[in-house]
Structure 1
Amino acid sequence: MNNRVGVDEFLVANRNRTRLQTLFEHFRKRKLIWIIFSIILAVVIVVIPTTIVTRNKTKKEKISTATEITTTTSGEQLITSVIINNNTKWKQNASTIAGGNELGNELNQLDCPRGIYVDDDDQSIYIADNWNHRIVKWKFGADKGILAAGGNGEGSDINQLHFPVDVILDKEKKYLIICDQENRRVIRWSRQNSQDPKILISNITCSGLAMDNHGSLYVSDRDEHQVIRWQEGNEETVVVAGGNGQGNELNQLYEPHFIFVDEHYSVYVVDQLNRRVMKWARNATKGILVAPSQVSNENSNSIGVPIGVAVDHTAEILDYATTKAAIVGFTKGLADKLLEKGIRVNCVAPGPVWTPLVIASFPKEKNASFGSNYPIKRPAQPRELAPAFVFLAAGTDSSYISGEILAVTGGKQTA
């Protein structure tokens, strides 16, 4: 068989091969162009957001330096005193951002501060300066505050406050909204014109405030054991939590205190005298126990005296409470770690103590019976606690004691 290829056949085959090579080179160049384009596009996609995030991060870190909690939001946000999200930064070491110059009524002092509102836009914090009957504004990094409302002495006139316990800003941040507790009213105070306060709600023993995305105001009513929702222009208020009398059932509250409203309009309530935190979903007829998470006859009092509450972006509770179980565990764990360094760690667990905060927090009839349910039938005076601290701190008398919980509870047995 003749395997040789003729000249014409060779020319046809060679021409076809040239076309294939040309076509291959064409596609290889186009592929290279697409690869280069994809790399450039990827770089653009990565670099631009990184630049934006870096620039935003720089701004946020400035706020983080001045505040304990840095908050940033995008889109709709809740008008609450503290918003916690993915960008929140927690400082390892606390720093004083307001007060810290002993109690007093100068602008660099506070006397029994209660509720606060952090305004990231203005880089400042508003404080209900309870015993000074005023609201003060502290710029982050400032060495003294600015009078924002009240400051005209204790009283019930329109330009006075009487033991304010909480403060927030409205949705547009034009007004302060204040729990003027002992005057039994919620009052609005202009940030620009302090001469034009307006009473929003009367005959209410307000203990906490919050505002949702739509500008609806939520108010905890201590004496009626409920939380209401109010919107300007509507005469009627709506009960959103409690409202079934004083009690400890899931549909009841017992002197609610500070509150938090999340993006789903669920209301988290510090149910103070029930020593728990409750979550009431929108339109719910009863609440859900969220702190303490487990309650039993042996551990029915795991939160000491809850004061305030905030919720992070994952709906985890951040309960500002003296949680006895946590304090006990912390004391014992720290004692184990530090004993080898010659450091002893002990804890004093007090019962009811007669302090200015107690006087300001409860009506006279409750103050009259405060501590009467303890075996000694009265509250302790602060000076009666002092020897316990001195004993544990003095190396001569307690040098062999570490990791102990010293109960000063007027005869009440502790677990």
Structure 2
Amino acid sequence: MGRLNEILLIFLHIQIIFWCWIPSTISIKISPCAKWNRTSEIVAGLGGRGNNPDQLLDPEGIFIHRQSNTLYVSDTGNSRIQAFKLNQLSNMGTTVIFNVTYPTKIYVDDENDGRTIYVSLRNEGRVKKWVQGASDGVQVGGECSMCESVWVDKEKNVYMTSVMKSCVYKWSPQTNIITVVAGREMWQGSSSDSLNSPEGIYVDDTSGTVYVADYANHRIQKWLINALNGTTVAGLSTGNQGSDAESLSYPTAVWVDDETQVVYVADSDNNRIQRWLSNALLGDTVVGGAGMNVEF
């Protein structure tokens, strides 16, 4: 689901780092009108489909650890998490997590005892985290039926997307309490208080705002802290799909520039990455789109 767009999103992140990055230990700064080189460069999976170090099989998620300039890939078909150093000429990946069943999205965090990797496990219905050097992960939070995505904020709260229950959960490690922060638990719908098969999420570390790729409603929803309703920031609020500039079709992932509030979307069925400026009614295509014909 959305294999091409995961590869396109890898490309978009790489373009951001190498062409639009202003050196900073705090954040990446991107002009809202930035242009990308539309000729892609493969940075992971150069060897095609397979299980060798330079290969991937049906990857579902990516995460760029900015401090180490490392690309982490959820290599779903090979049941592993791969790491690729972006500042090296080699395209060989290193397996950092082995034998993990159907990993989807990943989040890499820095903690006192080293780097920690959080993985959403769709078939197991939960999120697990691996501390540096661990041979196995430990579950965090509670049940998350068809767990599709994961995010971690600066307070170490863990956010989890449940496709089956049509909502986003937030688990607090301080209180061990789980709350619903987007959507209505066990309620599919296209109204502003509902989600339908949510997938990728992004959490603004400053405001705590949650952005959700509302997959089957073909839109991106923005949920403020303690809000009972979401606001559509990309796609049509009615939940209708399309391929024009105002529409999306089965979005799988979302990334937001916290400073400019520009939203980037992996628009799965349209084989493109869309950019939506703050309060815009239309998006523009930065990668992919009509005529894109790529096989994996």
TM-score range, shorter chain: 0.7 to 0.9
What are the equivalent positions in structure 2 for 1:296-375 lying under 5 Å apart? 302-312=247-257, 313-322=259-268, 347=291
Residue 169 of structure 1 aligns with an amino acid whose one-letter code is V
| 1:300-328 Cα shifts (integer Å, max 9, x gaps) | 9931221111112211111111575989x
**Which of these residues, 49, 52, 58, is aligned with residue 103 of structure 1?**
49
- Structure 1 equivalent of residue 6 of structure 2: none
What are the equivalent positions in structure 2 for 1:9-408 lying under 5 Å apart? 67-70=14-17, 73-74=24-25, 84-86=28-30, 91-92=36-37, 93-140=39-86, 141=88, 142-150=90-98, 152=99, 161-172=100-111, 174-191=115-132, 193-204=133-144, 205-244=146-185, 245-262=187-204, 263-292=206-235, 302-312=247-257, 313-322=259-268, 347=291
CA distance in 2, matches of 1:294, 1:237: 28
Contact 2:129 2:137 in 1 (8 A): yes
3-state SS of paired residue (1:174): strand
Residue 242 of structure 1 aligns with an amino acid whose one-letter code is G
3-state SS of paired residue (1:67): helix
**Greater percentage in helix:** 1
TM-score, with structure 1 as normaliser = 0.55
Runs of 4+ that moved beyond 3 A: 71-75, 86-91, 293-301, 322-327, 346-349
Residue 258 of structure 1 aligns with an amino acid whose one-letter code is G
Contact 1:69 1:90 in 2 (8 A): no
Contact 1:84 1:311 in 2 (8 A): no
Mind listing any 5+ residue stretches in structure 1 that lack a counterpart?
Answer: 1-63, 76-82, 153-160, 328-345, 350-354, 357-415
Residue 134 of structure 1 and its aligned partner are, at CA, apart by 0.7
**Greater percentage in strand:** 2
| 1:96-127 Cα shifts (integer Å, max 9, x gaps) | 11112111111110001111110121121111
Residue 348 of structure 1 and its aligned partner are, at CA, apart by 8.7
3-state SS of paired residue (2:175): coil
Mind listing any 5+ residue stretches in structure 2 that lack a counterpart?
Answer: 1-10, 274-289
- Structure 1 equivalent of residue 276 of structure 2: none
Residue 85 of structure 1 aligns with an amino acid whose one-letter code is K
Provide closer, same or farther for how the CA distance between residues 347 and 117 of structure 1 changes in structure 2, counting only shifts above 3 A: closer
Provide closer, same or farther for how the CA distance between residues 73 and 281 of structure 1 changes in structure 2, counting only shifts above 3 A: farther
Provide closer, same or farther for how the CA distance between residues 226 and 103 of structure 1 changes in structure 2, counting only shifts above 3 A: same
CA distance in 2, matches of 1:326, 1:118: 20
Provide closer, same or farther for how the CA distance between residues 129 and 297 of structure 1 changes in structure 2, counting only shifts above 3 A: closer
Residue 234 of structure 1 and its aligned partner are, at CA, apart by 2.2
CA distance in 1, matches of 2:292, 2:36: 27
CA distance in 1, matches of 2:140, 2:127: 6
Residue 131 of structure 1 and its aligned partner are, at CA, apart by 0.8
Provide closer, same or farther for how the CA distance between residues 226 and 214 of structure 1 changes in structure 2, counting only shifts above 3 A: same
Residue 231 of structure 1 and its aligned partner are, at CA, apart by 2.1
CA distance in 2, matches of 1:299, 1:200: 37
CA distance in 2, matches of 1:243, 1:294: 17
Residue 276 of structure 1 and its aligned partner are, at CA, apart by 0.9
CA distance in 2, matches of 1:298, 1:348: 19
3-state SS of paired residue (1:307): strand
Larger Rg: 1
CA distance in 1, matches of 2:272, 2:122: 31
Contact 2:16 2:30 in 1 (8 A): no
Residue 296 of structure 1 and its aligned partner are, at CA, apart by 9.0
| 1:19-55 Cα shifts (integer Å, max 9, x gaps) | xxxxxxxxxxxxxxxxxxxxxxxxxxxxxxxxxxxxx
> 240-249 vs 315-324, which deviates more?
315-324
CA distance in 2, matches of 1:225, 1:170: 26
Contact 1:105 1:132 in 2 (8 A): yes
Provide closer, same or farther for how the CA distance between residues 229 and 199 of structure 1 changes in structure 2, counting only shifts above 3 A: same
